[in-house]
A and B are shown apart, each in its own frame.
Chain A
Amino acid sequence: MYLLVQAHEYHKHAELLDQSFRLRKRVFADQLRWDVAVSGPYERDRYDDLHPAYLIWCSDNRQILYGSVRLMPTTGPTLLYDVFRETFPNACDLVAPGIWEGTRMCIDEDAIACSFTDMRPDRAFCLLLLALCEVALDNGIDTLISNYEPHMRRFYNRAGAEFDELGRADGYGRFAVCCGAFEVSQRICNKMRLSLQIAQPLYAGRSFAAREAEVPVLLTA
C-alpha cells in the first residue's frame, strides 16, 4: 500500500520512517556513493527537519517498507535549489505553489524480491513513480522537480512519464546527477497506467477521520 505521511502523523509511522532513513543510507550513500549526510545507519539531512511529506510504499500490514520518496514545496527551502545552486543555478530555480520537489526516491530491492517474487526492480521503481504521480495529482501539484542519474531516463520513459531535463551536475556521486521537471496531470497518469498495465489507482487517496456521531463536526481555524 501507499501512504502519504505528513508531519502531524510521523509518530504513527515512526517504524516505517526509520526503515526509510536506513534504506536511503544503503541506496544513496553505500550504492550510489552520493555526497549525502550519514549518521550511523541513517541518511538524514536538514530538510528532513523541515516537516516534509513522505510517500511510503509498504506492505498492507505496514511492517515492511518497499520504497519511499520525500516531497517538499518549492516555495520553501528545497534541497535541489540549495545544493545545485552553484553547479547549475538556472536548472532548479522553479518556484511556485503547484511545483514541488521530489527527492531521495528509492526502493528496497531485497524486500521487494521477498514479497513480490516475479517483480523486477525497474518495474517496482516505475510503480512508485506512478503512485507519486497519483499522490501529486490528488494534492494539486502540477509539476515535480527531481534529481536522478542519467540511466534512469530510460525507466522514466518506459513508465510513460514526461519530463524536461533542466541541467546536470558532476562530482556529486560516481555518475552525473540530472535535474528534471516532470509533468503531473491526469493525461500523464493515464499514460503511465497504460504503459505499466495498471488498471486501478495505486494510491487510495485521502481519508476522512472517523467522527463519533454525537460529536459536532465543526471546526475553526
Chain B
Amino acid sequence: MQQPNRVEKLVRDIGAAPTVADALPLFQRAYDIDFVTYHLALTVADVVDTPFVRTTYDPKWVSRYLLRDYVKIDPILREGLVRQMPFDWREVEIPNSAHGFLLDAHNHGIGPNGFSIPIVDKARRALFSVNSHKAADEWGVTVKQYRNEWRELAVLIHHKAIFELHGEHDPVPQLSSREIECLHWTALGKDSIDIAVMLKLSEHTTRAYIKSARHKLGGGSITFTIARAMQLRLINPFGNTPN
C-alpha cells in the first residue's frame, strides 16, 4: 500500500502548490531529479511571442539560453514540440549545428541525461522535461520505473500553468454520463470492481472513466476530484445523482 500513498501524496502536494514555480521543486525532490522544466508554447499569435516557461535550471543558464537564442537550436525543444509520445533524450538525433550548444550546456552544469513528456490539449502544446546527472544505465531504470507517474504529474502541472495564465474562469467541464456514474459510486465508497459489475463494463474501462473524470476536473487526486465534482454539482451522491 505504500506506493499508491506516495503518489497520492505527491499529487496532493503538487496540486496544492500555488504556482508552477512552487510545484517544480516538489517534483524534483520527490524523484531525485537534477532539473525540471515546464514549457508551454503559446500558439496564440501576439505582438510579442511569449511562451510560458518555468524551470529549476540555474538563472545564469536560463539568461544565457535566452540571450543566445538557444530556443532556436535546442534539439530537445524542437522535437519535443512536434513529437507526441514521451521520449528519452538519447532518442534524439543531434544535428552538427547543435554541438556548440551542448558543450555550453555541459559547462553550465546540465546533466547528460533527460526525459521529456509532450503535453497536448485541445488548443495548446507544452513540454515537460527532466534532466539528470545519473549515468545512462541508472537513468534508464529510473525512467522505466517512474515515467507513467511523471506523465500524470506533468499534466497536473500543465493544468496549473493554464490556471496561472488564464485565472479561475475555467468553464465547468463536460462529463459524460458514464463518468458521472463512476464518480457517484466512487463517492459512495464503491471500488472499480463493484462499479464495473453495476455498469456491466470491464474493470479496466471503469478505471478509464474514473481517470478521464479526474483529468477533466484538473488531474488531482480522487479525493480532490470527488470534492470538486460535488462543488460543481456534477454529482450529488447523497441525493440521487443520475438524472
Contact = CB atoms under 8 A, between A and B. Distances in A.
A186 interface: no
Contacts of B87: 206
A7 B120 CA distance: 14
A187 B191 CA distance: 21
Interface in B70-128: 70, 74-80, 82-94, 99, 102-103, 105-106, 110-114, 116, 119-122, 127
A93 interface: yes
Nearest to B96: A215
A7 B85 CA distance: 10
A195 interface: no
A118 B211 CA distance: 43
Contact of A181 (B39, B110, B111, B208): B208
Given A8-B82, A75-B120, A139-B86, A218 B110 contact: yes
Contact of A94 (B80, B131, B147, B208): B208
A139 B131 contact: no
Interface residues of B, number: 66
A116 interface: no
A59 B129 CA distance: 35
B178 A90 contact: yes
Contacts of A216: 102-103, 106, 112
A76 B88 CA distance: 22
A213 to B, nearest CB: 13
Contacts of B216: 95
Contacts of B127: 221
Nearest to B78: A8
A51 B116 CA distance: 17
Given A7-B83, A73-B120, A143 B77 contact: no
B83 A8 contact: yes
Contacts of A98: 148, 151, 211
Interface centre among A73, A96, A209 (most CB of B within 10 A): A96
A77 interface: yes
A95 B155 CA distance: 12
A75 B124 CA distance: 10
A209 B94 CA distance: 8
B110 A220 contact: yes
A201 interface: no
B91 A206 contact: yes
Nearest to A188: B204
Given A209-B94, A215-B94, A220-B131, A97 B83 contact: no
B84 A52 contact: yes
A76 B118 CA distance: 11
B202 A183 contact: yes
A178 B210 CA distance: 22
30 contacts: A6-B82, A7-B84, A8-B82, A51-B83, A53-B85, A72-B84, A75-B122, A89-B176, A93-B178, A93-B212, A95-B212, A96-B208, A98-B151, A140-B148, A143-B208, A162-B204, A181-B205, A183-B204, A183-B205, A206-B88, A209-B92, A215-B102, A216-B112, A218-B112, A220-B74, A220-B76, A220-B110, A221-B37, A221-B76, A221-B127
Interface of B: 37, 39, 57, 61, 65, 70, 74-80, 82-94, 99, 102-103, 105-106, 110-114, 116, 119-122, 127, 129, 131, 147-148, 151-152, 154-155, 174, 176-179, 201-202, 204-205, 208-209, 211-212, 214-216
